[in-house]
Homo-oligomer: A and B are copies of this chain.
């Protein structure tokens, strides 16, 4: 089997662990709220994925290191038997962290052996899927670590890279994008894509205006100071109810102290940087801001067409290349700044299947399809997203109230 795959495997597995290497055991075990998972669990679950979908079916006479892991580290695959309820992941005290690391080595060694001895194409395909899966969890790890550290009462710092942090001031401008009948989605020329990115299909797009950069903290503050959170006419009905029942009137990680706004980042707790893009807002907030601006959120197709356009020459950031782990605004060669690699951008598209979508057979049918209701698509990719996930067709998705991902917004407008 290919050296390239082996190298990809080793590199990916190593990155997950290096993300956790500075964390103490208490952080590794912590689950302060249902939607996060303990970092330890991510390290176990990503190994379970290889065990469950590659070693158990394809490794001859495979003997698991511990049968309990099948329950403990199954996230939500009902086809694979009982799984630990999401909110109880923090109660999985056994295996301990060092046992999880043993589990990772155990799985790795079996995967290596399998790679050397097997030319089965499904094995290779599933390993590649498993690596992309693990990369998604690398982003989740950084999201969850940030949330955990922020909630342990001491504004714990994940790393000390504050120096990387400095945005430039850009005017807020729109570029006119042309319309027509376009192809949306991934096709066989893509090296890799998830099932929810396919099939490629024809879509009629009207000409539209798209902002050349995301909205900044300065602009979002203007929205707040203009009473944005207390004007119901700007909000979707569910959004209005949500912010009032949750008393949630600012981006996550923002805090006002004696009249000054501060923001918690993985680099520590700092006064808000006004030129940086606003981050950690939910769909309701993004949508209300757009309404207030007299603009709208783009559709997921409008963003995809922009990535595929001549105006965009590729991503700039992402956590392989950058160590800052916080979005900034900085000059680039692209007409559209920060379109990928900076933060996820909320769209106005519900997460639905594409025309002709086929749910994968077997357990992988549970990977994406069963979440195709009640969620909203985000496009782009953030500062904590693995670089290789920056592709024009990638669809991220969250519930409209969620904001612990690195999420911001970019405005669009119709051409009348």
A-to-B contact residues, CB < 8 Å: 24-27, 29-30, 32, 68, 71-72, 76, 78-79, 84, 88, 90-94, 96-97, 148-149, 151-154, 156, 181, 201-206, 232-233, 235-240, 283-284, 287, 299, 348-350, 352-353, 355-356, 365-366, 370-374, 376, 400, 414
Which residue in B97, B202, B232 is a CB contact (below 8 Å) of A204? B202
Q: In the complex the two chains form, is B373's CB within 8 Å of A283's CB? A: yes
Nearest Cβ distance between residue A338 and chain B, in whole angstroms? 25
**Could you list 6 A-B pairs, sorted by A, with CB under 8 Å?**
A26-B93, A78-B232, A90-B90, A93-B152, A236-B372, A236-B373
Given contacts A30-B29, A356-B206, contact A78 B233 (CB under 8 A): yes
Given contacts A26-B96, A94-B154, contact A374 B400 (CB under 8 A): yes
This chain: copies in complex: 4
Nearest Cβ distance between residue A185 and chain B, in whole angstroms? 13
- In the complex, residue of chain B having the shortest beta-carbon distance to the beta carbon of A94: B154
Given contacts A91-B153, A352-B350, A370-B236, contact A203 B206 (CB under 8 A): no
- Per the bound structure, the CA–CA distance linking A283 and B372 in Å amounts to 12
The 10 closest A-B pairs by CB, nearest first: A350-B350, A78-B232, A93-B152, A25-B25, A202-B204, A237-B370, A26-B93, A26-B29, A32-B91, A236-B373
Residues of B within 8 A of A72 (CB): 153
Nearest Cβ distance between residue A279 and chain B, in whole angstroms? 21
Residues of B within 8 A of A376 (CB): 373
Nearest Cβ distance between residue A1 and chain B, in whole angstroms? 31
- Per the bound structure, the CA–CA distance linking A387 and B383 in Å amounts to 54
Residues of B within 8 A of A92 (CB): 152-153
Residues of B within 8 A of A400 (CB): 373-374
Residues of B within 8 A of A201 (CB): 204, 206
Q: In the complex the two chains form, is A91's CB within 8 Å of B29's CB? A: no
- In the complex, residue of chain B having the shortest beta-carbon distance to the beta carbon of A93: B152
Which residue in B26, B299, B370 is a CB contact (below 8 Å) of A25? B26
- Per the bound structure, the CA–CA distance linking A229 and B243 in Å amounts to 27
15 further interface pairs, Cβ-Cβ under 8 Å (given A29-B30, A237-B371)? A25-B26, A29-B29, A32-B91, A68-B153, A93-B152, A181-B181, A201-B204, A201-B206, A205-B355, A206-B356, A237-B370, A238-B374, A239-B373, A287-B373, A350-B373
Residues of B within 8 A of A96 (CB): 24-26
Nearest Cβ distance between residue A397 and chain B, in whole angstroms? 12
Which residue in B30, B232, B237, B352 is a CB contact (below 8 Å) of A91? B30
- Per the bound structure, the CA–CA distance linking A159 and B24 in Å amounts to 26
Nearest Cβ distance between residue A238 and chain B, in whole angstroms? 5
Nearest Cβ distance between residue A35 and chain B, in whole angstroms? 14
Which residue in B24, B237, B350, B355 is a CB contact (below 8 Å) of A76? B237
Q: In the complex the two chains form, is B93's CB within 8 Å of A356's CB? A: no
Residues of B within 8 A of A148 (CB): 93
